A and B are shown apart, each in its own frame.
Chain A
Amino acid sequence: MGGFLLRKVGAALIVLLFASMLVFIGVRAIPGDPAIALGAENRDPAVLAAIRHKYGLDEPLPVQYVNWASLAVRGDLGRDQRELSVSRTIVQRLPITLELAGLAILVGSLIGIVAGVLAAVRRGKAEDYAATSVALVGLSVPHFWLGIVMIIYFAVKLNWLPAGGYVPFHVSPVQNLEHMLMPAIVLGTGLSAVLMRQMRSSMLSAMGADYVRTARAKGLPERSVIGKHALRNSLITVTTVIGLQLGALISGAVITEQIFVIPGFGRLTIDAVNQRDYTLLQGVVLVAAAGYVIVNLLVDVVYSLLNPRIRIAGANR
């Protein structure tokens, strides 16, 4: 297990190193002189030279990268246009998005797993067709549009829920959930469609496996054959899929937060682009990539703990 873990962590670190280089080069590829932007459009050569010196922009690119990366490793992502710490802004915004993502995973898993199990158990019956059709619709609906439609009906017409905004959980848990309900459903429905399909196909292959046949042959009631044997094994794959959907969740959070005016990490990303705040954009993209790599690493490790065959196959390669 130690060797497996070491290999996985090593691979993740390499990916992170190259991803950080890509972010750094990408931001430098943005047209326009950052010194002019930092100097509030002052084009006096002496002022520009002083700014370049102050921010290390007169150093060669590899030196600039090393300086930036060494600060980033220590949690310092620089200062944005308003001279605020980028790390601090991200730390303030991230929990909001994590709450949204957590609730969306809850909604998505509840719908996806239940519908997937139902479709597999009732294969070829009305329930199966209904669940697969709904999943297909779920995959085709643009979720940001679903958000707008929900605002039209549940906020504007029925006045049941707030149309947008955010109330921190510690200020008012009830209002927090009221504000998060629609965004979580919007973000969760896409996930539920993917999970439903995965759950259905995992359950179908589990139900045809030898251990399920053995369980039936032992005379176990159908409920425990499905609940204890088929479902448990199918959940391993589905857990992995949830982890792999993180990229889609981050992308989904960007647009969902935009529609429901939630001041999270996603909205921060769009604000960074709109305000042409490249230090902020650089920080946000780096954190998103790092988060994705770390979650994937965790998924790999959890998966190998649940399924030892992966570990052994990896060691033999």
Chain B
Amino acid sequence: MSYAETTPIAINPRARRRRLLRKRFLRRPLAVLGLAVALAFILVAILAPWLAPYSPSETDFNATLAPPFTEGHILGTDELGRDMLSRLIWGSRASIQAGVLATGLAMLIAVPIGIVAGYYRGWIDPVIARATDVLLAFPFLILAVGLAAILGPSLTNATIAIGLGAVPGLIRVARGEALGLREEDYVRAAVANGASDVAILGRHVLPNMGSTLIVQATVLIPAAIIGEAVLSFLGLGVQPPTPSWGVMLSDAQSYVSQAPRLAIFPGLAIFFCSLSFNLLGDGLRDVLDPRTTR
């Protein structure tokens, strides 16, 4: 039985809290807009095969560098006559995949390590702290470039590199949270009741870190989306002809004077995708973490 269930005032405090959070979230129009746009990007990525009017690699050498609103190509075509809209739609897959999976990977590695360091402390805490310092000594792109050299350039490896790059920072966040939670009354009560460590960590510590982790995820996802674009732009991520917004920007560089829109469209896609997650993240932070409410 959890502490909350024994309090006489609230009948179903969890459902009440959820309702309250939902109400607070809905009162923030920018956060709601961020959520809607982010969901739209995710849907576009999932439904790409059905939404895209053409195959992203279908070339038409009779219609190269066609301007927007050319018949059949609402956003025009690129230097190989490939439909821009279709490539943008397919390109969202790489961004969303890298954003979500890299964040998931970072969470999967960092949260357990952070919890162990913060909850158990003792000798393990300074060891993990130093190991985190060592990883933090490698700037993200340098780490990603090094990993790409070791693992070879691909979307999967770029995702792994981005995820690993986020691990040290996230360990620190998880450790800080666990450190605070271990002093909470309900955790002490569970210890006094003889609950096992697994039960305490799984039932009390981890769920209470939920809001912090959700906020962290909404910060990490846009950073990972930009990270994927950067790595693909540098040739260390998605490999052509597979479409990715980063690859499209890299290809567009040779045509900046002839067809600047080839660079404008994928950049705007990255911007709006990342902005939507940032708006959502800011809104969630305000709702879930009252300490940072402005």
Distance between Cα atoms of A121 and B234 in the complex (Å) = 42
Query: What is the size, in residues, of chain B's interface with A at 8 Å between Cβ atoms?
Result: 43
In chain B between 235 and 294, which residues have their CB closer than 8 angstroms to a CB of chain A?
235-236, 249, 252-253, 256-257, 260, 263-264, 266-267, 270-271, 274-275, 278-279, 282, 294
Contact, CB under 8 Å: A149 / B275 = no
Interface bracket on A:
35 or more
Comparing A140-148, A177-185, A231-239, the segment that makes contact with chain B is: A140-148
Inter-subunit contact B264/A15 (CB<8 Å): no
- Is A156's CB under 8 angstroms from B134's CB? no
Residues of A within 8 Å of B264, CB to CB, are: 149, 152
Main secondary structure of the interface of B (DSSP, over half): helix
Q: Given A11-B133, A142-B230, A255-B234, A156–B257 Cβ distance below 8 Å?
A: yes
Most-contacted residue by chain A among B134, B142, B148 (CB, 10 A): B142
Contacting pair B271 A141 (CB below 8 A) = yes
| A156-B260 Cα distance, complex, nearest whole Å | 10
Bound Cα distance from A204 to B292, whole angstroms: 12
Contact status B140-A137, CB under 8 Å: no
- Most chain B beta-carbon neighbours within 10 Å: one of A137, A201, A258, A259: A258
- A255: chain B residues at CB < 8 Å are 141, 230, 233-234
Q: Main SS of the interface on chain A?
A: helix
Q: At the interface, yes or no: A288 with Cβ under 8 Å from chain B? A: yes
Query: What are 28 A-B residue pairs whose CB atoms fall within 8 Å in the complex?
Result: A11-B133, A23-B146, A26-B150, A29-B150, A30-B150, A31-B150, A31-B152, A136-B278, A142-B270, A142-B274, A144-B233, A145-B249, A145-B263, A148-B252, A148-B253, A148-B267, A156-B256, A247-B136, A247-B139, A248-B140, A250-B141, A251-B139, A254-B234, A255-B234, A274-B235, A281-B149, A285-B138, A292-B137
* B17 beta carbon closer than 8 Å to chain A: no
B130 near A288: Cβ-Cβ < 8 Å? no
Across-interface contacts of B253 in A (CB, < 8 A): 148, 259
Contacts of B234 in A (CB 8 A): 254-255, 258, 270
> How far apart are A226's CB and chain B's nearest CB, in angstroms?
19
Determine if B138 and A288 form an interchain contact, defined as CB atoms under 8 angstroms apart. yes
B226 contacts the other chain (CB 8 A) = yes
Within 8 A of A (CB), among B137-162: 137-142, 145-146, 148-150, 152
